[in-house]
Amino acid sequence: MSRAVLSIGSNLGDRLDRLRGVVAGLGPRVTAVSPVYRTAPWGGVEQQDFLNAVLLADDPAYEPADWLRHGAALEDAAGRVREVHWGPRTLDVDVVWCGTAAGAVRSDDPWLTLPHPRAHRRAFVLAPWLDVEPEAELTADGVTRPVRDWLAALDPAERDGVHRTGDDLGAAGAR
């Protein structure tokens, strides 16, 4: 069995509908859905703001790599094109963290690095994660801290750029 924290985002097309499509596409695997946030693009490429959310999901048959494959299939179905690094995208599904009955999964594989190597620096991941898992912890750079502490340590401008929209993604598939 594996459990996953997935960060989802979109800044092209019907952004909200694309995020709802991820919830529907994961179906009963989804156990919690954060509120939707509007965030400025990250990485220095001029583009429209993103809508972001975090999902908690679990599946007794899934290995950590299955979450990445499933997310990539959802991105492909949404017409995701990878032309510009950190550029605009119809859909982005990132595997932030995975755990099994034995505990948190760590992977240095370039195809699936766990936990996500930049999650601790991104308010658009940390803020919605806290909404669905207030006691979550994340290990980064060899240090394990509560997600709330990673968020508090970010530059205030990074935190202030994450705004709850009032939209929700529904409970499609949530248990």
Catalytically annotated residues: 80, 89, 92, 94
CA gap 85, 138 in Å, rounded: 25
Query: How many residues can be counted in the chain?
Result: 175
CA gap 70, 6 in Å, rounded: 11
CA gap 126, 47 in Å, rounded: 22
Three-class DSSP category at 114: strand
Q: Indicate the pairing of strand 107-109 with strand 37-39.
A: unpaired
Residue 126, classified by CB atoms within 10 Å of its CB into exposed (0-12), middle (13-18) or buried (19+), is buried
